[in-house]
Amino acid sequence: MTTGDGAAEHAAAAWSRAARARERARSAEEAAERYERKAAESGSDVYVQMATMLHSTAGCHRSSARLQEAFAHKLTGWQQGEGARPRFMTGVAEACGTSSAALTLVDADHSQLAVAASNEPARVAQDLEFMLGEGPTRDATANCRLVVASRDAIEQRWPCYGPALTTLGIHEVVAAPLDTTGRCFGALAVFDPRPGLVGTQALTDIVGALARTVLLDPDADPELYGGTDHREIVQQAAGVVSVHIGRRVEDALALIKARAFTLGVPLETYARGIVTGELELTPEGPS
């Protein structure tokens, strides 16, 4: 990496992706207008549907461009000495009118594979889901539908996760599935979004941008400029404990999650203690 831990390269890449997204949005809008003219001339609903689809595609590309531009601007400011190194997800959260948002990728069993968060509360919220096996992201990906819950409904819907989430000072959560070609591969969770966000085209475009271009475009950076965590340290700790107690890795991982939650210790901190040897390994596991 060069000066700024690759910030200049990341900023240049973000500007480039934004420019391509703007061009794709323009092309989609032009195509939509052509189909609208054909619809007016022929009265065919097929052309109307095509125009609608293309307008939606253009909206996703414009949203993608805005997210990339916001990140590039923040990186430029950071290089000039403004605050902490920015995260791509910070711009996503701001686009949703909040400071806390997280993107989670899941496997076929809806278990977390990777997470990218805008700030610490969003990261803690995703760690809670990972440890407890319940929450909005899991529901959104399992059912491939939008999940919205606020205040008392949070604790009623998720008996373990809910009280832990509200303890963080979060009073509303929105989780939107990320899907393509009929497969849900993750979700965007937004905590305490701006009033009226749910049901807006803005949210639809942000989710569409993440699913279609930011993560899956041919020139995409699924690591979100280094902001994605694949929980390597946790998986490594599970391997260590698995060998020590002579049980499956899945069992060891469940034990680590349960111990970290019970002790109120951040999952990654607890896992790192196992890997570094700071935690003693007993026949029953780390202590």
Query: 283: pLDDT confidence band, cut at 50, 70 and 90?
Result: low
Q: Which residue in the block uniquely carries the two structure tokens 């496997």?
A: 107
pLDDT of residue 131: 95
The answer to whether the beta carbons of residues 126 and 137 sit under 8 Å apart is yes
Q: What is the mean pLDDT of residues 224-233?
A: 94
Examine the pLDDT at 133 and tell me if it is beyond 80. yes
Share of the chain above pLDDT 90, in %: 85
Q: Is 282 left (phi over 0), alpha (psi -120 to 50) or beta?
A: beta
How many CB atoms are located within 10 Å of the residue 255 CB? 18
pLDDT at 1 over 70: no
Question: What pLDDT does residue 195 have?
Answer: 94
| 34-79 pLDDT tens trace | 999 999 999 999 999 999 999 999 999 999 999 999 999 999 999 8
Which residue do the tokens 């686009």 mark? 95
